[in-house]
Amino acid sequence: MPLLSTVALASPLALNLFVPAMPDAARELGVDINTIQLTFTAYLLTLAIGQLISGPLADFFGRRPVLMWGLALHVLGSVLAGLSGDITLLVAGRVLQALGGSTAMSLARTIIVDVHGRQGAAGKMGYMVMSIAIAQSIAPTVGGYLNLWFGWSWTFVLPVIIGAAVALLAFRWLPETCQQKSDSLKLGRVLGLYRQVLMSSEYLGYALSTTFIAAAFYMFVGSSPYIVIDQLGGNSAQFGSWFLVVSLAFMAGSFLSTRLAQLLNIDRMVLLGNSFSLLGAVLLLWFASQQQLSLWTLFVPMGLVTLGRGLSQPNAQSGAIACALALPNAAAGTASGLMGFIQLLTGAALAQLTPWLMHQGLEVLMSCLVAAPVLAIASHSYSWLRRQPSANQSGPTESGQKS
């Protein structure tokens, strides 16, 4: 688990290090907020597409070789972004960063399910999500101070170091975990597998639940640097320091998820987490509507949102992958990659939409944040209710043995 957790944090670290520096990078490169937002949106979009591709590649070639090539691309993209002097090269570097990082995110989840199975993976997934939360806790703070002291390009130095170190560790210690490789990479077969997975209401319920909660986080990340700097009069270092509240709450939720895995089944954990997220989003909307937003009232309610995400995400992800494994001919890599694609494609679209939402007013933006956990609860509840009749007929499922 320590190695897989380290592999998983490389891409979230690179994504969030640059976020506090985006307003300053926009001014230095002479571009507007919509243009610099492409460095965030393109990263998420490439993560989405990369996971869609890396899943079938890992099922065919094996987890290890695909992961090693991905980490190499991640390092190369970090170097290109750090040396870029215009927005085009910066976006190109971010795309390469994300393309490589997508394999790490997707395959870390897949390898956990390979090794531990459905119910065992739920608890282990919590440790991986907690490592991502740690990266997200450190990244905005470190990125904010690097930008303040040395300039925005220095936010890409750390991804080069971390990416290279993770690649060496994986090369030395990571074994191949794919027990039965796919026998074909033909497009028709791959599309058929994706279609089969998408036809599963159980899979979609879990996947859409974690997608909508992640969407709330991406909208907040895409808007909060500008709220702090342009509306609350702060700077990138203050943003990074206060973002610790959000990230540490995510880490706390992930840690609680590992502790509660033996007490609550997957579905109850997802519902509990989504409920916390809804409470935090409602508080954000209330403070915005009362014109009482401050650093405190912006970041603490969002901490509740990410506390809930830490509780629900590892369970929803392991549940989705395990549901897909129950289908004929389905593969863990395919299911994991498709889930990442759905989540990050949605996140990329909302991230690029965020500046427009901010222009409509903070109440509109916060209303969208409230809608995200509402949709997450609805998606998961639909899946849960659809599954109960068959579970009652055939006895308790693996996900419902504990209550």
Q: Check whether 249 has a pLDDT greater than 70.
A: yes
Token readout for 182 is 């796919």
User: Looking at residue 300, what is its pLDDT?
Assistant: 94
User: Looking at residue 44, what is its pLDDT?
Assistant: 82
Mean predicted lDDT score pLDDT of the chain: 80
pLDDT tens for 375-394 read 999 988 877 776 665 444 43
244 located within any domain = yes
% of the chain at pLDDT higher than 70: 83
Token readout for 178 is 């794919």
Average pLDDT over residues 288-309: 92
User: Looking at residue 277, what is its pLDDT?
Assistant: 95
149 located within any domain = yes
User: Looking at residue 392, what is its pLDDT?
Assistant: 43
More confident residue, 57 or 212: 212
196 located within any domain = no
User: Looking at residue 376, what is its pLDDT?
Assistant: 92
Q: Check whether 163 has a pLDDT greater than 80.
A: yes
Q: Check whether 400 has a pLDDT greater than 50.
A: no
320 located within any domain = yes
CATH of the domain at 17: 1.20.1250.20
Nearest to 142 by CA among 130, 157, 132, 131: 157
Instruction: Give the least confident one: 53-62, 211-220, 306-315, 338-347.
Output: 53-62
Instruction: Give the least confident one: 47-51, 134-138, 181-185, 201-205.
Output: 181-185
pLDDT tens for 227-237 read 888 888 888 78
Q: How far is CA 393 from the centre of its chain?
A: 36
Mean pLDDT: which of 118-132, 165-179, 197-211, 387-401 is highest?
197-211
Structural domains in the chain (count): 1
Task: Compute the distance between CA of residue 107 and CA of residue 380 in angstroms, rounded to an integer.
Answer: 24
Task: Compute the distance between CA of residue 324 and CA of residue 342 in angstroms, rounded to an integer.
Answer: 15
For the chain, give the secondary structure using H, E and C.
CHHHHHHHHHHHHHHHHCHHHHHHHHHHHCCCHHHHCHHHHHHHHHHHHHHHHHHHHHHHHCHHHHHHHHHHHHHHHHHHHHHCCCHHHHHHHHHHHHHHHHHHHHHHHHHHHHHHHHHHHHHHHHHHHHHHHHHHHHHHHHHHHHHHHHCHHHHHHHHHHHHHHHHHHHHHHCCCCCCCCCCCCCHHHHHHHHHHHHCCHHHHHHHHHHHHHHHHHHHHHHHHHHHHHHHCCCCHHHHHHHHHHHHHHHHHHHHHHHHHCCCCCHHHHHHHHHHHHHHHHHHHHHHHHCCCCCHHHHHHHHHHHHHHHHHHHHHHHHHHHHHHHCCCCCCHHHHHHHHHHHHHHHHHHHHHHHHHHHHHCHHHHHHHHHHHHHHHHHHHHHHHHHHHHHHHHHCCCHHHCCC
User: Looking at residue 235, what is its pLDDT?
Assistant: 81
Average pLDDT over residues 269-285: 94
262 located within any domain = yes
Q: Check whether 182 has a pLDDT greater than 80.
A: no
Q: Check whether 367 has a pLDDT greater than 90.
A: yes
Average pLDDT over residues 16-21: 87
Q: Check whether 274 has a pLDDT greater than 90.
A: yes
Instruction: Give the least confident one: 49-53, 130-134, 203-207, 213-217.
Output: 130-134
Average pLDDT over residues 115-126: 61
Average pLDDT over residues 267-296: 92
User: Looking at residue 333, what is its pLDDT?
Assistant: 63
pLDDT band at 316 (very low <50, low <70, confident <90, very high): confident
Q: Whole domain around residue 30: which residue ranges? A: 2-171+201-389
User: Looking at residue 181, what is its pLDDT?
Assistant: 60
User: Looking at residue 369, what is its pLDDT?
Assistant: 93
Q: What's the pTM?
A: 0.68
192 located within any domain = no
Average pLDDT over residues 49-71: 79
User: Looking at residue 394, what is its pLDDT?
Assistant: 38
Mean pLDDT: which of 197-201, 206-210, 266-270, 285-289 is highest?
285-289
351 located within any domain = yes
